[in-house]
Amino acid sequence: MMWPAIDPVAIHLGPLAIHWYGLMYIAGFSATWYLVRLQLKQAGLWETRVPEQAYEGLFTALILGVVLGGRLGYVLFYNFPYYSQHPLEILYVWQGGMSFHGGLVGPIIAGWWYCRKHDLPFLQLADRFFTVAPLGLMFGRIGNFINGELWGRVTDMPWGMIFPGAGPLPRHPSQLYEMTLEGIVLFVLLWSLRKRDWPAGARVALFLTGYAIARIICEEFREPDVQLGFLFGPVTMGMLLSSVMLVAGPVWLWILFRKQKNRHH
């Protein structure tokens, strides 16, 4: 199969070009804003613990955290030797280069800081945001596929695709695998569990665990970044970083439920 050559520019408005990838970010942020607000209303937290103005400020802080964290994560984890020699290019975000794991740490730090400053319930809010975070991942992977980037390894499967710039051999459309596992499947799981009477922070731990499993599976089909390749054996940087989440998620979940059990005793 040939990769469906989709124009990365969705709309041309004179000299202004609006890219599909940018629209995917907007779609992800919009869905998150609406669904987190919905959850807060259902939980009775809207306007009682989370005023609308504070929510809007928090959302702005989280967006900045995603962008800054994602960029710095890419610089540090995926291409530090290059950017250490070309530090100004760290600012060239339009050239691409974002890391999910950096984009995870960034908003956690920004959210914690904002919640502490404005007396907002950090873990309760984090649970709601992480419940719908997979939707943002889904839209992001769609953007990767449209851009014909982050393709998979060579395959002889009938759905293998020939991507421009990736040579003449068909490859796994790993962007679609990630869209499905990290996005759709993880969202359905977390959304179905959103009303469970679990300790605050439990759904964050579940997200960390679920994402790590999905990402490690998908990394088996994804071509490693050319500047890194395999770190050792079959292990990629994505696997290594996700392994930290795979340990942290269950451990934190165990701690939270153990504290809840002790309180009930």
Q: Is 37 annotated as a binding residue?
A: no
Question: Using an 8 Å Cβ cutoff, are 181 and 214 in contact?
Answer: yes
**Is the alpha carbon torsion for 67, 69, 72, 77 positive or negative?**
negative
**Beta bridge mates, 50:** 46
Six-digit token string for 96: 């691409």
Distance CA 2, CA 161 (A): 5
Asked if residue 190 lies in contact with residue 206, where contact means CB atoms within 8 angstroms, the answer is yes
Other C-beta atoms lying within 10 Å of the C-beta of residue 84: 11
Determine the residue type at 167: G
Q: Give the number of other Cβ atoms within 10 Å of residue 75's Cβ.
A: 19
Binding-site residues: 141
